[in-house]
Structure 1
Amino acid sequence: MPFYIQSLREMAEKARAAYRANLKGSDASIWPNNVYVSAKVIGGMTFEVIGFLSYISRQKFAHTAPDLDSLLLHGAEFGLPIKSAQPAGPGKVVATTAAAIAIEAGAQFARSDGVIYLATAGGSLTGAGELSFDVIAAADGKAGNAEAGTPLAVVSGVTWTGDTAPTFAVGADGITLGLDQEDIEDYRARILFRKRNPPHGGSPADYVIWASAVSGVTRVYVEPRYAGPGSVRVWPIMDGLYADGIPQAADIARVRLAIEAVMPAGVRLAVQAAAARVVNITVSGLTPDTTAVREAVLAELRDAFLRRSRVAGIADVHPGMPFLATPATFSRSWLWQAIANATGEDRHVLAAPAADISLVTGEIATLGTVTFASSI
């Protein structure tokens, strides 16, 4: 039988009733009355104590831990620290100059919104040209990520000759890898996964746990025995860090090193980036065809790909292990449903794709171009 925590008012009324029952001739319901005040104080103190006991009881379990401090204690029991924030970079910045230029190590550059980047190494040119150098964000977090071509302004550490100031812009690969501290619910999910999947000498779940501990990794798909006994292939996904969630070569190397440090000896390990199977979508007859409804459709489609897309592989389907890379098809019905779920949508026709998308090993369905056939 669940324990019902009474409200503050109910506890005060209960204290007043106790006075009437045990202190004959008193009436704690009449004001002004010192017994009335005493009952209210007792009710308030009892409410605070019961509330604190409820808070403590929720701390006992990872799935009900009410705050990060209590959840960190659960993670510490399993050696699972929260993934900390990290700065964006290193990334390339290109200086374009009409005269000699010198950049010091530690030179500072500012984005228009005030985000600061630091040069990790100096460089110079004796004349006109372009100079590429590495930078890293001065502060941790996703805010430091920048797209290619983003202009930067000099704060300090740069000298040049001539009357024309050089220009600075983020290089073609952008500045990435900036991460915020792991979300508390994502951290809770990792702890619960570890509790439900105890270490088992290199089971598929073990590889999920090991890879998920790497900063930026949000999902992991595992294909055991992909090349025979003793082999395992891992596909990490980094939702939020990249538009399609597919990690870059440097990310793959980080995940591989993390797994190699803890995996059983003799395992033939492959850590790979999934191949994007881009799904272009055409929606016709959207009613009402407004900007707001279109944006709602796009949001629902992004969410559908995040929830439904998975890396395909050759592993056997197991209902208790949804992280296995099994044969996969991205259903056209999921797209139709996502569009129908959009706020304000009354009707639509999904013109493309015309059929389900069958994936080959190593592929993951990603959202491509969304075209609305009629104009607003």
Structure 2
Amino acid sequence: MPYARPTLTDLRQLVVQDIQNGGIPGVVTLMRFSVLWVIAMAQAGLAHLHYGYLDWISKQAVPWTATDEDLEAWGALKSIYRKEAARATGAIAFTISSDADIPVGTAIVAGGVDVVTTADSVISGTTATVSCAASEAGASGNVALGAVATLSSPIAGVQTTGTVAIAFTGGADDEEDDNLRDRIMAAYAKGGENGSSADYVSWAEAVSGVTRAWVNPLGAGAGTVVVYVMLDSARSADSGFPQGTDGAASAESRYQAATGDQLLVANAIYTKRPVTALVIVCSPVAQTVNFVVSDLGNDNTSDNQASITAALQDMFRRLSAPGGTIHPNYWNEAIAAIGLDQFNVTSPSVPVSASSTGSMPVLGTIEFAS
């Protein structure tokens, strides 16, 4: 059974009892503010700190409870490293007059995000397009296509406002301990790498921003491996779906190159895959599933509706997969866990299967009724 760590109160009582029960000859009681009482409290406090340090050591001694740099050290033994925050990149178009130019290093605000140009502008007619990168790393740097961009300082011949011509993608936050620990434990559980399906999932999820991945061996014919990915945090505004086009790595000559998020994953896998494998990285195709939840009675409140929505979203995130099937007991169990007095899922009433190999059931609309 687990070791029961004594509390500070327990330690104080133990030290006082030791003193009163013969620890110091002639002392049978302690005055609250006596010197011995103060020493007893100080000793108990020091012992409590020692117990705390030993408790921390025990957690760092194994990968399933280790944290921070100690967790990273356990991961390094399996070549699993924390995914660092990444800067988003994209392009912005401005209307210009004459032969005006936007030089490299120009500061711009795109969709509320500070970005900086990484190359001189490319001019076509009256439009100047500049490649840019977010000033700070993180998922907040991802900016949607068409967002308004503004020059931080005016440039002669260049209209002050422009639009995002290529969506900013690739921005991701530092990986949290829980996600890193899951990948580390999976690495210890499966052993070495040999190009198995689990290896492709691990290689994909090691890319900054990727939270889920699935593999379809021979998905595009003999010799191919199709990898589907989701970026639930970095692409939360897009329901977690990657932004870009499906394809292979930029160095792969046998297939068209991917773009955006898919290209980042494809390039990362390219150097690790078995040498003959043609890896194609794809975004799942959203297949919305609409729900009708009835017979809620007095539980048909806004708070309960929000809880039902959150439960179904969590269920789809945990159990849905490209080409997969969601069964009625999945959504019934998810809603029942909320603790409602009664409910009935009127629709759907049968298992929901993906319409194609790349389709993935996702939550659509929810209609509530008392």
How far has the Cα of 1:79 moved from its partner?
1.9
- Is 1:179 the counterpart of 2:172? The answer is yes
Q: Which runs of 5+ in 1 are unaligned?
A: 313-327
User: Does the 8 A contact of 1:200 with 1:206 survive in 2?
Assistant: yes
Structure 2 match to 1:109: 108
Q: What is the Cα-based RMSD across aligned positions, in Å?
A: 3.3
Change (3 A) 1:120 1:291: farther
Counterpart CA distance in 2 for 1:245 and 1:42 is 53
Q: Which amino acid aligns with 1:306?
A: R
Counterpart CA distance in 2 for 1:292 and 1:167 is 42
Pairwise mapping of residues 190-269 of structure 1 onto structure 2 (< 5 A)?
190-224=183-217, 232-242=225-235, 243-247=238-242, 248=244, 249-250=258-259, 251-266=261-276, 268-269=277-278
Structure 1 match to 2:351: 356
User: Does the 8 A contact of 1:246 with 1:273 survive in 2?
Assistant: no
Counterpart CA distance in 1 for 2:333 and 2:95 is 49
Pairwise mapping of residues 332-343 of structure 1 onto structure 2 (< 5 A)?
332-335=328-331, 338=334
User: Does the 8 A contact of 1:255 with 1:271 survive in 2?
Assistant: no
Structure 1 match to 2:252: none
Pairwise mapping of residues 295-374 of structure 1 onto structure 2 (< 5 A)?
295-312=306-323, 328-335=324-331, 338=334, 347=343, 350-351=346-347, 353=348, 355-359=350-354, 360-368=356-364, 370=365, 372=367
Counterpart CA distance in 2 for 1:53 and 1:373 is 52
- Specify the SS of the correspondent of 1:190: helix
Provide, for residues 281-310 of structure 1, a one-character-per-residue CA deviation record: whole Å limited to 9, x for no partner.
153657666655554444333222211211
Change (3 A) 1:72 1:35: same
Counterpart CA distance in 2 for 1:82 and 1:246 is 22
Counterpart CA distance in 2 for 1:358 and 1:216 is 27
Structure 1 match to 2:251: none
How far has the Cα of 1:197 moved from its partner?
0.9
Q: Which amino acid aligns with 2:138?
A: G
Q: Which amino acid aligns with 1:365?
A: P
Q: Which amino acid aligns with 1:261?
A: T
Q: Which amino acid aligns with 1:80?
A: I
How far has the Cα of 1:228 moved from its partner?
9.0
- Is 1:123 the counterpart of 2:121? The answer is yes
Change (3 A) 1:78 1:123: same
Structure 2 match to 1:317: none
Counterpart CA distance in 2 for 1:151 and 1:46 is 60
Which of 135, 138, 146 is the matching residue for 2:135? 138
How far has the Cα of 1:186 moved from its partner?
0.3
Change (3 A) 1:26 1:92: same
How far has the Cα of 1:195 moved from its partner?
0.8
Change (3 A) 1:333 1:94: farther
- Specify the SS of the correspondent of 2:131: strand
Change (3 A) 1:346 1:225: same
Change (3 A) 1:178 1:282: same
Structure 2 match to 1:70: 70
Change (3 A) 1:153 1:72: same
Structure 1 match to 2:248: none
Which of 143, 152, 156 is the matching residue for 1:155? 152
Percent of aligned pairs sharing the same letter? 27
Q: Which amino acid aligns with 1:72?
A: E
Change (3 A) 1:336 1:8: closer
Structure 1 match to 2:9: 9
Counterpart CA distance in 1 for 2:300 and 2:182 is 39
Structure 2 match to 1:43: 44
Change (3 A) 1:358 1:85: same
Q: Which amino acid aligns with 1:169?
A: T
Provide, for residues 222-258 of structure 1, a one-character-per-residue CA deviation record: whole Å limited to 9, x for no partner.
3446689976443333222333434333333333333
Which of 270, 276, 293 is the matching residue for 2:279? 270
Provide, for residues 143-192 of structure 1, a one-character-per-residue CA deviation record: whole Å limited to 9, x for no partner.
1112233222211373227xxx5422223x52222100011100011111
Q: Which amino acid aligns with 2:70?
A: S
- Specify the SS of the correspondent of 2:316: helix
Provide, for residues 256-283 of structure 1, a one-character-per-residue CA deviation record: whole Å limited to 9, x for no partner.
33333233444x3433314414214153
Structure 2 match to 1:323: none
Q: Which amino acid aligns with 1:356?
A: P
Q: Which amino acid aligns with 1:271?
A: I
Change (3 A) 1:147 1:191: same
Q: Which amino acid aligns with 2:192?
A: P
Change (3 A) 1:13 1:54: same
Provide, for residues 43-78 of structure 1, a one-character-per-residue CA deviation record: whole Å limited to 9, x for no partner.
11111111101110110111111x312211111222
Counterpart CA distance in 1 for 2:278 and 2:124 is 48
How far has the Cα of 1:344 moved from its partner?
7.9
